Homo-oligomer: A and B are copies of this chain.
Amino acid sequence: MNIAISGLRSQIARILQKNLTSEQAAVVADYFVWAEMTGNTTQGIVKMMGTEPIQDIVPQGEVAIMKDTKLSQIIDAKRNPAPFVSQIATEVAIQKASEYGFAIIGVRNAFSSNGAQGYYVEQIADAGLIGIMCSRSPASAAAFGGIDPVFGTNPIGFGFPTLDKPIVFDAATSAMTFYGLVLAKARGEEIPENMAIDSEGNPTIDPAAAMDGALLPFDRSYKGSGFAMAIETLAGPLLGGAWVDNKTFEEEWGTVVIAIDPELTVGRDELKANVSDMLDKIRVARTRDGGEIRLPSEHARRRYAAAKERGYIEIDDAVARELGIAA
């Protein structure tokens, strides 16, 4: 279904006001509209559905600071929606790293996904800094060779400034995202092969069986599993929150936002020029299909620009129906 962007934003904000102030709802709605505009459908309004719709989570008060140093902060989300709190963490990271060169900001006591890491690390890169972000979530992915889920889908994102727009790369370390399962289930579709196993470790293409079982590592190997573990450590044990939980959705999620000022090394201007030069050199490589190398975030940026130009976007009918969003 096609929907005007402004109308989508206001309808999302209205749904989110169930448990949020209008100011908070607007921050979260901005994220969701960005996700839909960039085509990040598994990181978009599908998160308002599923086992724990984001608008149903009741905050336990205002976001607070648990620890603060020159280079770091741990933020207590008090069950406020993760996109709201990760936006705060991103802004604190930019502020501290701009002043001191480096910042590591943790988010504790959030009980939802913050969506695509790209949204946040792009803001850090827009500020001239390098952004790195890692999140852990309730266990839904097996370690390599394992049956029981131990890791979350554990995404990581990188944002780098260039002479033009930042280049952003983000990826889940599971074969597919958990909300990819939610979306497939809502649509009554099967998932591709070799993505997940059921609760006994058998391959499955049934999204419900996969939700009871586990996703596989993104490369189906020990390497993907190692990346998932590193991200679990940075967003769990390093913050003192939860880790390797048992998919009860009763334990907190975790996010760490890192910003590094290139003034510590080559300086901001030279970094931008160097990264742009690197991308130019990648682009001229020959490809097997004769096209251009696919650089991370370029498709998403084109979709965003096209949606902005048109003024409307297409959203999934099943999702719109379930959320009561009208064109």
Contact = CB atoms under 8 A, between A and B. Distances in A.
A194 interface: no
Contact of A237 (B74, B238, B275): B275
Nearest to A173: B223
A277 B244 CA distance: 9
18 contacts: A71-B102, A104-B260, A104-B264, A143-B282, A145-B289, A145-B293, A146-B287, A146-B288, A158-B233, A219-B221, A229-B282, A236-B274, A238-B271, A239-B265, A239-B266, A243-B278, A243-B281, A244-B282
Nearest to A158: B230
- Of listed A70, A167, A288, residue having the most chain B CB within 10 A: A288
Q: How large is the interface on A (under 10, 10 to 19, 20 to 34, 35 or more residues)?
A: 35 or more
B104 A265 contact: yes
A293 B158 contact: no
Given A70-B101, A229-B295, 16 more contacts: A69-B101, A104-B265, A130-B238, A143-B293, A145-B293, A147-B286, A158-B233, A171-B223, A219-B219, A219-B224, A222-B294, A225-B296, A233-B278, A238-B274, A243-B278, A244-B281
A148 interface: yes
Contacts of A266: 237-240
